[in-house]
Structure 1
Amino acid sequence: MPCCATHSTRWFPVSDPRPFKIPQSVLVVIHTPALDVLLIDRADASGFWQSVTGSKDDEAESFEQTAVREVAEETGIDCAPGSPLHAGLKDWFLENVYDIYPRWQHRYAPGVTRNTEHVFGLCVPAGTPVLLNPREHTGYRWLPWREAADACFSPSNAEAILLLPQFAR
């Protein structure tokens, strides 16, 4: 089967070369010791405030590796092993299973309708600099945890933030 179709003298790919997203992701609630929570505004859906989220790049990537990568990609915060902030990354050993929003369904293989999201917390000092990836997010804000939960578009994100006081002890 040919990989390309021709039109005049130009070649066009038959299908998008990007692989489908793996329906296993992380949610990382970034917070200060005072329980102020970092929320970021999605570039592809303005007004959709959320914590850091992202899917595994491959099946072999651990949830912790995914969390470290996504935090760095989306906020510029380094919490990799060996970094000063790594000790603040905590696996909450919680998972949410939810229906994938229809607006993002095309990113997944046909027939995949649900995602499993593994939850982490990351405690950072107040004033930690944030450097957003403009392709993914257009703004950020730090809010007290209850206000942050109210501002989230995602119910699973809001629920995780409401659990923050338990996990921050």
Structure 2
Amino acid sequence: MRIIESDSQAKHLQEWLGSGVDEEIIALNVRSLSGSLPYEYLLYSPKISRRNDGRLRDRDLKKYQHIELGGWWCSGVDPLNNYILMMWGCFKPNHPRRDRQKIHKLIKYEHPYREETRAFFLLVPNRIWVKVSNRSGIPITEEDLQHPGGFWHWVWQQNATKLS
């Protein structure tokens, strides 16, 4: 993976820290991307029309050329697919494009083109899981720790138990 030069990474980190997000959560879920790499994160859908040689169409390349200037990508795990890392996520370009319908509005966040909008669940370190457990008074069992879904499976189980 091509990582953006350290000043952009530092800017991205400061943006997240300024929003009050724990540094370990940021490290687990956010990546700085640039060059052609953002295309792999945003333009992977089989629903995207391509040329006979498989290349993206010129109109899509032109529409998304701003992503080559870099930005941050955030994604998490997919609770609908055994909590594996999901492809769907959010990219915030360093230089956003203009909305064609609302010319004075910038599109601050990009999501995978031609893919359904999804919620994503950030990876949560055990240290924070323990804090949530202590604050809520809900213990973490050995079984919870062994489950591939970890924190999010535990949250789902606790909510399912309360609803029954």
Length-normalised TM-score, structure 1: 0.24
Q: Mark the structure with the bigger radius of gyration.
A: 2
